Structure 1
Amino acid sequence: MSLIEIKNEHQRRSILTALSAMVGFGANHSMVRDTCASFGVEMSNDTIKNQLYWLEEQGLVSVKTQGNYLIAELKARGQDVVDGLTFVPGIKRPSAGE
């Protein structure tokens, strides 16, 4: 597995985890980015937006544009990934005990 694939898997997992922790399971891309940074997973605005669109293509989040922001909301399938109930290639699996 390449370094970029590992990085993508961690970024996507961090985004889903961040959305799972938000009240209402959603937030704008800036809030998600800051939350991921607090986990030690820093991303540029372009990267967070691209990852959110990728997650939307997988049916894990919904994304809509509001002004200059993307608003992302976790879907039930995304929560299943966070909880380790569903595996999606391209997203880091949780470790035992997470």
Structure 2
Amino acid sequence: MAFKDMVEQDQRLVILRSLADVNGTANDSILNKMLDAYGHKISRQQVKTHLYWLEEQGLLTLDTVLSTDVATITDRGYDVAQGRARVPGVGQPRPGA
């Protein structure tokens, strides 16, 4: 697997785990800050691209308020964040993490 693919998979996992940690809902700006905290310094547009991809996979839903995307994790997304389900394109948490 290419390094770029591994990084993108981890970014998507960080988004899902962040949503799970904040009671399921956050906007793209907060998620961008969470990614920064985990060492992923990416643009807000890249965050939005991940959010749209995760929505297509049924792992979260998106609502747009003004120009801000608000993500809400789905049950399936929560299972992936916790390592109970696997979706190609999303990293897996370490056992016990």
TM-score (normalised: structure 2)? 0.95
Measure the CA separation in 2 of the matches of 1:43 and 1:78.
22
Structure 1 counterpart SS, 2:40:
coil
RMSD value, Cα: 0.9
Q: Do residues 45 (structure 1) and 55 (structure 2) align?
A: no
**Which structure 1 residue ranges, 4+ long, deviate > 4 Å from structure 2?**
none
Counterpart for residue 11 of structure 2: 11
Shift of 1:84: 0.8
How do residues 19-98 of structure 1 correspond to structure 2 at under 5 angstroms?
19-23=19-23, 25-98=24-97
CA deviations on 1:4-39 (whole Å, 9 max, x unpaired) are: 21111011001001111113x101100111012112
Question: Number of residue pairs matched?
Answer: 97
Contact 2:17 2:82 (8 Å CA) reproduced: no
TM-score (normalised: structure 1)? 0.94
Percent identity, aligned pairs only, is 34
